[in-house]
Amino acid sequence: MTEADRRPDLAAELRPYVDRTDAEAINELAARLADGKPVPRAAFRGELRTRLAEREQSVGIGWRPQRLGATIAAYAGSGLSLLALAALGVSGAGPLG
């Protein structure tokens, strides 16, 4: 079985709406695009890999807030407050009920 035989018929779902010749042209275009995928040159890939490795080593740990614990507590507290407000609103006892 060749590669062309294993390819799906991409224009099959267009058949009721597209002529047979157009469907064959779509399949031919899909085959050309699948066979001709561009690949960067080996030199470019090697240079990119080297640059990314150097950058990863030089940067280290990314950005982090100075007071991480306080930031987490503030977000958790505001989230719980909003959930409590929503529960009051659903029960009819809150400011919006």
Predicted pLDDT at 4: 54
Predicted pLDDT at 41: 92
State yes or no: pLDDT of 71 exceeds 60. yes
Predicted pLDDT at 91: 87
Q: What is the CA radius of gyration of the chain?
A: 29
Predicted pLDDT at 2: 60
Q: What share of the chain is helix, strand, coil (3-state, %, to 5)?
A: 65, 0, 35
Tell me the per-residue pLDDT of 9-53, one tens digit each, with 9 for 90 and over: 777 777 778 888 888 888 888 888 888 878 889 999 999 999 998
Under a CB-based contact definition with an 8 Å cutoff, are residues 88 and 97 in contact? yes
